[in-house]
Amino acid sequence: MEHSEPDMEQIRRNILEKLRRRFAKMEQGNTERFDRVLALWIDLQRAILSRKKSEDPKGDCAPWKSTDKSVQDAWDKLTDPKNLLALESLFYQLPEGPQMEMARKALLVCRDRSARTPAENDSKRTEREKL
């Protein structure tokens, strides 16, 4: 009888190993997601810095108000609903100030976009987001 019953210690080790693998995959996915959003954030910063100087002589760089196509495209990619979790993580890692405010606005837009259907998102891209 003893040999037909599963070894509880072996079962426990198997379960723990499966959990370890699952958590490792989740962590890897979170890291990849965060890295992707960080790259999009950097792309947005580059687009803002390289936009045409004549666009806004006052130096306002609010990407949700920008008329520069490269800034609009970078903003749309960053605020894609699939980036919501990683954007939240980025938001909490930024220092207080303009960057954090930009990330806060990105989160708001991202949450808004995630609440809409894909067709609504496509139509909203044509009209710029308003504060």
Instruction: Evaluate whether residue 92 is within a structural domain.
Output: yes
Instruction: Evaluate whether residue 75 is within a structural domain.
Output: yes
The alpha carbon torsion through 31, 34, 36, 40 (nearest 10 deg) reads -160
Instruction: Evaluate whether residue 3 is within a structural domain.
Output: no
**DSSP line for the chain:** -TTTS--HHHHHHHHHHHHHHHHHHHHHHHHHHHHHHHHHHHHHHHHHHHS-GGG-TT----TTT---HHHHHHHHHHT-GGGHHHHHHHHHHSPTTHHHHHHHHHHHHHHHHHHS-HHHHHHHHHS----
Instruction: Evaluate whether residue 131 is within a structural domain.
Output: no
Instruction: Evaluate whether residue 104 is within a structural domain.
Output: yes
Give the global pTM: 0.67
Which range has the worst mean pLDDT, 66-70, 114-118, 124-128? Answer: 124-128
pLDDT of residue 37: 92
The b-or-e profile of 99-117 (16+ CB within 10 A means b, else e) is: eeebbebbbebbeebeeee
* Count: domains in the chain: 1
Instruction: Evaluate whether residue 47 is within a structural domain.
Output: yes
| 43-82 pLDDT per residue, tens | 999 898 887 655 555 556 789 998 889 999 999 999 999 9
| Residue 46, domain extent | 8-126
